Structure 1
Amino acid sequence: MQKRIEIKKTSWNEQQLLLEADSVSFPLDQVSASNQMLVDSDNLAFIYKLETATEFIYVSIKDDFWNDMRQALEDKKAIVLVVDKTALLLTNIEEELGYLIENIRDNANYGEEMERRVNEIF
């Protein structure tokens, strides 16, 4: 079964957008950013991939949080995942998200609702 981290809320500090998630049942001490993102059209979410030596962990960022993501991109703020006391910079997210947004615009392959939400927010 694929391990997932669901973003539950966002907050800001001077330099960063914090994507906050509930506790997880697996350790995060060996996790690193993969610099890669996917799209989950069924759940209207962008997925940031984390990795360990043996597996991927998906961080699901649903459309409820896209306005904050857009603002972070516009303001050139870092985007950081926070789970309990662990904070992890989501590297390359600006480039990956920009690529996905451009690819989804006017592209029905991602589903009408995904395309509509991306066009509304970004």
Structure 2
Amino acid sequence: MSIQIQIDIGIHKGEQIRFLVPETIDVLEIVPAGKMITDSDKLSFVYLIDGEDSYGQVHFPQVVWPLMVEVLKSETDPQLVQGEKSVVLTDFIEELTMLIFNIEGNNNYGEGFSTAVEQAFEEVLQGTK
């Protein structure tokens, strides 16, 4: 069975960024795979997850990219949260960092996606030059 989760909101809790998961998904059944890909057609980063009998994807559309910048600056992997339950997205920072630097100036992802990523993550991209 495939699980699809779209993240539309996140919050700060101290230095931790917490992305809120809809009530229809049991966050404790999510097993982070530690891998991230992109969906350039939907302008989204996609974190891969596993489950006991399933696999899935957590989609991070543009609306939460500012929080993803904050994750990179905090150097703390974010959490998926549902009420009092949470799971840390392992290797999120490493995977996202690799992707944004690979996307920069690379129109193989599509010009629209590349431009959107370069603009949204400009602070991170410029901070290492």
- Which TM-score applies when normalising by structure 2? 0.84
Change (3 A) 1:109 1:62: same
The amino acid across from 2:30 in the alignment is V
1:35-68 Cα deviation digits (max 9, x unpaired): 0011011111101111024331110000111111
Identity of aligned residues (%): 27
C-alpha contact (below 8 Å) 1:22/1:84 kept by paired residues: no
SS at match of 1:29: helix
In structure 1, the residue matched to 2:58 is 59
Gaps of 5+ in 1: none
Distance in 1 (CA, whole Å) between partners of 2:110 and 2:97 is: 18
Gaps of 5+ in 2: 122-129
Distance in 1 (CA, whole Å) between partners of 2:7 and 2:96 is: 16
Q: Which aligned pairs between 1:36-75 and structure 2 lie closer than 5 A? A: 36-75=35-74
Distance in 1 (CA, whole Å) between partners of 2:39 and 2:85 is: 25
C-alpha contact (below 8 Å) 2:37/2:45 kept by paired residues: yes
- Which TM-score applies when normalising by structure 1? 0.89
Distance in 1 (CA, whole Å) between partners of 2:84 and 2:48 is: 20
C-alpha contact (below 8 Å) 1:39/1:46 kept by paired residues: yes
Distance in 1 (CA, whole Å) between partners of 2:26 and 2:64 is: 25
Distance in 1 (CA, whole Å) between partners of 2:28 and 2:9 is: 22
SS at match of 1:103: helix
Q: Which aligned pairs between 1:24-103 and structure 2 lie closer than 5 A? A: 24=24, 27-103=26-102
Quote how far apart the aligned CAs of 1:28 are: 4.1
In structure 1, the residue matched to 2:14 is 14
Change (3 A) 1:14 1:27: closer
